[in-house]
A and B are shown apart, each in its own frame.
Chain A
Amino acid sequence: MALPAAAPSARDRVSARSSGVGERRVPFADLRTIVFIAVRQLWERKLLNGIAVGGVVLGVLVLIAMNGIMQGFSMKFTQAILKISPHVIILDTELRPQPSILARYEQGLVATQVAHEVPSDRQARIKRPYEIVHALHELPDVKAAAPSLSGMALIEFAGKTKSIDLRGIDVDKQEKVTPLSQFVTAGSIATLGVANDGIMVGSGVAADLGLHVGDVVHAAAPGGRPLDLKVVAIFEAEIPPVDKVRAYALLRNAQTLLGRPDIISRIEVLLWDQDRGVPASDRIERAFGYDAEPWQETNANFLAIFAMQGMIANFVVAAILLVGGFGILSIQIMIVLQKQRDIAILRSVGLRRSDILRIFLLQGVVIALVGGVLGDLLGKLALGQLAKIRVHMEGLVKSDTFLIHEDPRFYLYGLAFALVVGVFASLLPAIRGSRVEPVDVLRGQIG
């Protein structure tokens, strides 16, 4: 064996070089070494780590798909409902009932209640509605307001009768609050405004009675005067509960039909910002003394169902990610136990405890990130495919496909949750690995 010739001054050479003098050093050596080791060890255990990655992918995929579907559905519902219904409805319920006339004038009198007031006084109504509408426009949140009257009526056509939710509106004002014209599928809403005896019915109403534009229906309501109204338009809001029962007529005609002349029973309000429904309603209640209901309250049942659905879905997602986390945990624990020898080698050649800790943590993070990114990609693909699936939906919202909302935030959430799971799952194995005492392994106690 050929050995190189001896250095002239061997001792000098050793003391100079071994103390690191003249040796070039690059920064972040620890990080580079850790990444080198962590990635290589991951790569050499592709199958095991692939399984761990799979768990994370599944969790992130389900997170994205579930939320995409649910958000799609609830957003479509909210959007649809907010096109046809206002942000705030002012109802004819007085919050501070006015004291009776007697009490108003004779303070301190014993009788403050009148057993039988005159019917007109007792009838629910919004008093001085046009002043309120005018004043509403002064509020900063309010974009538009429209007075209307609503009530139940029966319409009859070709021997069939149907009960409808009749809205008497001022077409122009109502259009500003809930733009109905966009839902008109036959006829025109403009005709409703100009014709004396027009009615616009929902597509479901029209289908039930076999109505077409131009047909004349006979409408009646208890206490009112029956009218013959001509169908001037048919609308479809794609919300079956609305399309099946609602009809619009001129305010004047509705008042006659329902027997409530000059009465306004509700004022519908459009806000600049739909999310300010609750504070705006509070403000309106305080200002006018009538019950104002934000859309969130009107649709509280649905919103609660959506929230509940969301919670359940996220429990499922959390459970899957948890299982994914346990996958990482068990595989990493196994590797740490198998790798005692390697840890002892690394420690004896000068890696620190913290290096070992970071190697295993990094492996968890890499597994999580790879799983997260793959999960995001698969999630995106899945959303695209889901959106193509043809389903016939006609419950709350009408649709032919899965309603998918692709919110980019969920890709971030997917990554973030994967990362958290990865870090937490590999923490225990990493700590375990960093505590390995090289001498214990060398003495043969372990490994």
Chain B
Amino acid sequence: MSAAASLAPPPHVLAETRALYRALSGTGAAPQTILHGIDLQIARAEFLALTGASGSGKSTLLYLLGALDRPTSGEVWLDGVEMSSLDDDDRAAFRNERLGFVFQFHFLLPEFNVLENVSLPMLRRGVPRSEADDRAYESLGLLGLEDLWRRKPGQLSGGQQQRVSIARAVANDPALILADEPTGNLDSRNAELVFDVFAHLAHDQGRTVVMVTHDREFAIRADRQVALRDGRVLGEGRRGEDILPSSRRLLPSDPP
């Protein structure tokens, strides 16, 4: 299973997983396989919704797609590069240049104001301060937050913080945005707004978005839905297709 032996995915595919396995050994417990051979292709400028019950492995898959974690076996291709061929520093650089993360619990740095939080990833890779600030401000504007740029995260509501972390992911100008339940902690109005931003990023700006969500309404409105169950791909659906009822039908109500 050496990376050299496998062929890179075709250019229109931005991300691809091949036979992806991930086992985790919790404290004291025997290793437990979380992902069982995930094969997934994500096209450029695609807006993909990742659904599944709690514990089905969505976050685990997202971390692998984001080069934050390493698979037990299998391959992750991002933008023509197989991730296991990169060392820790290169993967950090890759995240910095190509990826944007939005975590479920709005992760912002409390010591830095909103603008600084958003521009920090750009500063790390050498974008001049003024340019980074301009882009950060622009990106805050996209989320309706430009008036709050001076505030510290502690002075923002949860929904505002979540939007700031989206602005951070976007400002970095990533090829791939990975969002883990970005609407999970928001009220319906804010959730709607955040969803619209992702849709806009994918459809109007040509970015690729993978969004984990529990919200069926949102999942249906994505370009494509992928449902996981117990670490396996349970089924896929197109936009507008409601795959959750059918997948429920496919499965016995009690786990085997």
Which residues of A line the B interface, CB within 8 A?
Answer: 1, 3-7, 9-15, 17-20, 23-27, 29-30, 32-33, 36-37, 40-41, 43-44, 341-342, 344-355, 438-439, 442-443
Contact = CB atoms under 8 A, between A and B. Distances in A.
A11 B207 CA distance: 7
Contact of A29 (B44, B95, B126): B126
Interface residues of A, dominant DSSP? helix
Contact of A342 (B97, B98, B109, B144): B109
A351 B124 contact: yes
Interface in B60-75: 63, 66, 68-69
A23 B112 contact: no
Given A3-B200, A25-B125, A18 B103 contact: no
Given A18-B173, A347-B92, A349-B95, A10 B205 contact: yes
Closest 3 A/B residue pairs (Cβ): A350-B96, A10-B206, A29-B126
Nearest to B174: A18
B77 to A, nearest CB: 16
B92 A352 contact: yes
B245 to A, nearest CB: 30
A443 B112 CA distance: 24
A438 B92 CA distance: 11
A33 B116 CA distance: 11
A225 to B, nearest CB: 92
A11 B44 contact: yes
16 contacts: A3-B142, A3-B196, A11-B44, A11-B206, A14-B206, A15-B175, A18-B97, A18-B175, A25-B126, A25-B127, A29-B123, A341-B107, A348-B103, A349-B124, A350-B92, A442-B63
A6 B107 contact: no
Contacts of B63: 439, 442
Contacts of A6: 203-205
Interface string B93-137: 111111101010001111110000000110111111001000000
Contacts, number: 135
Contact of B204 (A7, A29, A30, A344): A7
Contact of A349 (B44, B128, B172): B172
Contact of B123 (A7, A36, A348, A354): A36
Contacts of B124: 29-30, 33, 349-351, 355
B69 to A, nearest CB: 5
Q: Interface size for chain B: under 10, 10 to 19, 20 to 34, or 35 or more residues? A: 35 or more
Given A24-B131, A349-B101, A438 B200 contact: no
B89 interface: yes
B142 A4 contact: yes
Given A6-B204, A7-B206, 19 more contacts: A1-B196, A3-B142, A6-B205, A10-B204, A13-B205, A14-B45, A14-B173, A24-B128, A29-B126, A30-B124, A32-B123, A36-B123, A43-B111, A345-B109, A347-B68, A348-B68, A348-B101, A348-B103, A350-B97
B108 A345 contact: yes
Nearest to A16: B173
A439 B68 contact: yes
Contacts of A11: 44-45, 206
A40 B111 contact: yes
Interface of B: 44-45, 59, 63, 66, 68-69, 88-89, 92-99, 101, 103, 107-112, 120-121, 123-128, 131, 142, 144, 168, 172-175, 193, 196, 200, 203-207
A33 B123 contact: yes
A380 B173 CA distance: 53
Nearest to B89: A352
A350 B67 CA distance: 10
Contact of B95 (A7, A17, A44, A350): A350
A342 B103 CA distance: 13
Which of A36, A341, A352 lies at the interface centre, i.e. has the most chain B CB atoms within 10 A of its CB? Answer: A352
A260 B124 CA distance: 89
A14 B101 contact: no
Contacts of B66: 348
Contacts of B168: 349
Contacts of A439: 63, 68-69
Contacts of B175: 14-15, 18-19
Contacts of B205: 6-7, 10, 13-14
B55 to A, nearest CB: 12
B161 to A, nearest CB: 12
A205 B129 CA distance: 79
A439 B65 CA distance: 12
A13 B126 contact: no
Contacts of B93: 350, 352
B125 A29 contact: yes
B109 A438 contact: no
A26 B122 CA distance: 11
Contact of A353 (B88, B94, B98, B121): B88
A26 B125 CA distance: 8
Given A24-B131, A348-B101, A13 B96 contact: no
A110 B232 CA distance: 113
A6 B205 CA distance: 6
A442 B103 contact: yes
Contacts of A30: 124
Contact of A1 (B112, B120, B193): B193
Given A345-B108, A438-B68, A354 B89 contact: yes
Contacts of B126: 25-27, 29
Given A14-B207, A15-B175, A33 B45 contact: no
Nearest to B196: A1
B95 to A, nearest CB: 5
Nearest to A41: B111
Contacts of B144: 1
Contacts of B92: 347, 350-353, 355
B123 A350 contact: no
